[in-house]
């Protein structure tokens, strides 16, 4: 009986806590919390913006970031950062910039 009661209390407290833990965590908040507390662009994204405006306009006009979803951009960037011959650091910077823009 003690065990059953204990299990009930444990389950009960998980259920009681769950909405508090789950509801405020949206994708946007998760990213802003881990990368930058304020909604301003961080240094990595700022560097990415410069690359995006310079290197990504060599073959075509400036692409509108909002025209593609985050998922689409992941695929596009894999391809385009190679086309633009970006190194690992630059690729990371452009990726951060694109993802930052998508959250605005
Ligand atoms: C060497 C030339 C070249 C460079 C540099 C380049 N692109 Fe492209 N990009 C292309 C070509 C060609 C296409 C169209 C054909 C294709 O989708 O492969 C394209 C298409 C795109 C598209 C449209 C994709 C779609 O599915 O509609 C996006 C967005 C894009 N590029 C973003 C970028 C970004 C961001 C960069 C910088 C990291 C970049 N491009 C650099 C040549 C380039």
User: In this predicted model, what pLDDT tens digit does every residue of 75-98 receive, in sequence order?
Assistant: 999 999 999 999 999 999 999 999
* Ligand 1 centroid – CA 53 distance (Å): 13
> For the whole prediction, is pTM greater than 0.85?
no
Taking CA atoms, 76 is separated from 30, 65, 69, in Å, by 23, 11, 10
Per residue in 15-47, pLDDT (tens digit) is: 555 555 555 555 555 544 555 455 688 999 999
Question: Tell me, what's the pLDDT at 40?
Answer: 83
Residue 63 pLDDT: 97
Closest CA to 63 of 73, 13, 78, 71: 73
Q: What is the H or E stretch that residue 90 is in?
A: helix 88-102
Average pLDDT over residues 100-104: 94
**Domain limits, the chain:** 1-26, 36-102
Which tokens belong to 99?
């993802």
**Cα-to-centroid distance, 80 and ligand 1 (Å):** 5
Whether the CA torsion 60, 64, 65, 69 is positive or negative: it is negative
Ligand 1 pocket, 3 CB below 6 A? Answer: no
**What atom of ligand 1 comes closest to residue 85's alpha carbon?**
5
């Amino acid at each position: 009986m003690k065990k059953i009661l204990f299990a009930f209390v444990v389950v009960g407290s998980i259920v009681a806590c769950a909405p508090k833990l789950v509801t405020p965590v949206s994708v946007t908040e998760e990213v802003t919390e881990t990368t930058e507390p304020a909604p301003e662009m961080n240094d990595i994204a700022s560097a990415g913006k410069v690359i995006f405006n310079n290197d990504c306009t060599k073959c075509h006009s400036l692409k509108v970031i909002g025209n593609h979803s985050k998922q689409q951009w992941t695929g596009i960037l894999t391809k385009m950062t190679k086309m633009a011959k970006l190194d690992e650091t630059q690729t990371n910077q452009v990726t951060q910039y694109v993802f930052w823009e998508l959250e605005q």
